[in-house]
Amino acid sequence: MSKASGFRPQILSFIILFVVSFATYSQEIPTDEAVISSGEALFKANCTQCHQVHKKVIGPALKGVTDRLETGYLLNWIRNSQKVIQGGDEYAVALYEEYNQVAMPSYPFSDDQILSLLAYVKAESANEPVQAAQPGAAAGGEVAAAGGDSIPSGYLTAILVVLVVVLLLILVVLVLIVSVLQRYLKEKKDLVEEDKEILDQKFDLLKLLKSDAVAGVVIFFFTAILLKTLIDGAFTIGVQQGYQPTQPIAFSHELHAGQYEIDCNYCHTGVRKAKSANIPSPNICMNCHSAIQNVGGEAGVSSEIAKIYAAVDYDPNTGQYGPDKKPIEWVRIHNLPDLAYFNHSQHVEVGGLECQTCHGPIEEMEVVYQYAPLTMGWCINCHRETEVNSKGNEYYSKLIELHEEHSKEPMVVEDIGGLECAKCHY
């Protein structure tokens, strides 16, 4: 494998350049809403891997670029940045050096497309940068999350406590009444023998506790609780829900998938075509991290990113790769037993499921943990409830027809044999 194929040349290195001498034609940047939104789409699809408007990422921040540079120059730049650099433009070369000689690929956009792109950048430049949500803010949100139309659980508890207190008061009052009545009766001398017996009767707690009935009830409850605990315990054997091991590199999905919204498929390349989703090989990391060497704008190489460099034997100073490569030994979090066959592409590509369905809020995980129990019961439940994503797939067209002949319910996975053993075990 030549390393070149693994490292895609980087996008949009710098648009901030001074006006050069060759003839350019000036064009008005549109301000139309529709154009801006189409520019936004274009920007998100092509540019966000390296650029943000308010922040330096791989390439420079683009805020105000349309004020600094002539439109015609930008057109040339986006279509072929290398040509501009090779033209010997002093400032362009300086910036090229500043951004680690990462070349921005050429984009064969039409004039209108580039103009819409610039329109979006211009419009966005006027907005204030959106502050990232503070981590503390999430804690306060819990009550609200539990709220909604139903009564908040705090009220329920309060009502319960009040009820218990009232009942206790009633109990005390009743006991008092009984003792008053007893004292009154004892003072009375003309009671018949039978009534006297009842009155003199002593309440023997010990005898009651030693009685067979109580012992039986206690033993029954004890055994029942013990069994229930044991069975529940047994079901958790091998279930690693919540398993959150420390990984060799403190990779944050919260940052990459959450904040930067990098598509899962970008790194987990197998998810749409294979059984395994694939843990990305370091050469995929290097697509971005050959340029991004630290976080939060700090200088030098971050210690975590240095681990990627160590794996691929990359020298960030020279930009050269050495021969001494070592794979990164990630700790596997989701461990299906060998006897169960699970295929990502069946669920993601064919079934159209979101990654979050099984992996939970991955975009919020600083450290990934196992979200779902991954038990057979969990699989089966989902197969019972999930409707088959049959739209536009000829494979299912006859099945849907057959299903609709005798059912008004949607066709779920179970209906087409999704609970059969040999679908997962072979």
Stretch that binds other proteins, among 115-123, 174-182, 250-258, 265-273 (CB under 8 A): 265-273
Residue in 326, 384, 385, 407 binding other proteins, rule: CB under 8 A: 326
Footprint of other proteins on 344-373 (CB under 8 A):
345-346, 349-350
Q: What is the DSSP string of 395-422?
A: HHHHHHHHHHHH-SS--BGGGGTTT-GG
Tell the smallest beta-carbon distance from residue 36 to other proteins (Å).
36
Stretch that binds other proteins, among 25-33, 202-210, 226-234, 390-398 (CB under 8 A): 390-398
Residue 185 backbone dihedrals phi, psi, to 5 degrees: -65, -40
Task: Examine residue 384 and tell whether it contacts other proteins (CB under 8 A).
Answer: no
Task: Examine residue 274 and tell whether it contacts other proteins (CB under 8 A).
Answer: yes
Residue in 109, 260, 266, 330 binding other proteins, rule: CB under 8 A: 330
SS3 state at 315: strand
Stretch that binds other proteins, among 79-87, 182-190, 196-204, 340-348 (CB under 8 A): 340-348
Give the DSSP H/E element, type plus range, for residue 321.
Answer: strand 320-321
Cβ count near 299 (within 10 Å): 6
SS3 state at 75: helix
Give the C-alpha separation, 92 to 84, whole Å: 7
Task: Examine residue 176 and tell whether it contacts other proteins (CB under 8 A).
Answer: no
Task: Examine residue 83 and tell whether it contacts other proteins (CB under 8 A).
Answer: no
Footprint of other proteins on 396-415 (CB under 8 A):
398-399, 402
Both tokens of 48, joined, read 């966000």
Tell the smallest beta-carbon distance from residue 122 to other proteins (Å).
39
Both tokens of 74, joined, read 């930008």
Task: Examine residue 278 and tell whether it contacts other proteins (CB under 8 A).
Answer: yes
The residue among 94, 92, 56, 99 whose CA lies nearest residue 74 is: 92
Stretch that binds other proteins, among 72-80, 204-212, 219-227, 278-286 (CB under 8 A): 278-286
Tell the smallest beta-carbon distance from residue 103 to other proteins (Å).
20
Size of the site for other proteins (CB under 8 A): 56
Nearest CB to other proteins, comparing residues 202 and 398: 398
Would you give the end-to-end CA distance of the chain in angstroms? 35
Tell the smallest beta-carbon distance from residue 226 to other proteins (Å).
20
Task: Examine residue 312 and tell whether it contacts other proteins (CB under 8 A).
Answer: yes
Task: Examine residue 327 and tell whether it contacts other proteins (CB under 8 A).
Answer: yes
Q: Which residues contact 69 (CB under 8 A, 6 or more apart)?
A: 15, 16, 17, 18, 19
Residue in 81, 283, 287, 290 binding other proteins, rule: CB under 8 A: 283
What one-character DSSP code corresponds to residue 278?
-
Tell the smallest beta-carbon distance from residue 300 to other proteins (Å).
24
Task: Examine residue 392 and tell whether it contacts other proteins (CB under 8 A).
Answer: yes
Task: Examine residue 284 and tell whether it contacts other proteins (CB under 8 A).
Answer: yes
What one-character DSSP code corresponds to residue 37?
H
Cβ count near 415 (within 10 Å): 19
Task: Examine residue 184 and tell whether it contacts other proteins (CB under 8 A).
Answer: no
Residue 320 backbone dihedrals phi, psi, to 5 degrees: -105, 150
Footprint of other proteins on 227-256 (CB under 8 A):
238, 240, 243, 245
Task: Examine residue 279 and tell whether it contacts other proteins (CB under 8 A).
Answer: yes
Give the DSSP H/E element, type plus range, for residue 314.
Answer: strand 314-315
CA distance readout (Å), 396 to 8, 254, 381, 401 = 39, 37, 21, 9
Residue in 135, 136, 233, 337 binding other proteins, rule: CB under 8 A: 337
Task: Examine residue 417 and tell whether it contacts other proteins (CB under 8 A).
Answer: yes
Give the C-alpha separation, 267 to 285, whole Å: 8
Give the C-alpha separation, 238 to 235, whole Å: 8
The residue among 371, 365, 134 whose CA lies nearest residue 254 is: 365
The residue among 423, 422, 269, 275 whose CA lies nearest residue 345 is: 275
* Interface pattern 128-167 for other proteins (x via CB under 8 A): ----------------------------------------
What one-character DSSP code corresponds to residue 199?
H
Interaction site with other proteins (CB under 8 A): 1, 3, 5-6, 238, 240, 243, 245, 269-270, 273-276, 278-284, 311-312, 325-332, 335, 337-339, 341, 343, 345-346, 349-350, 392-395, 398-399, 402, 416-417, 420-423, 425-426
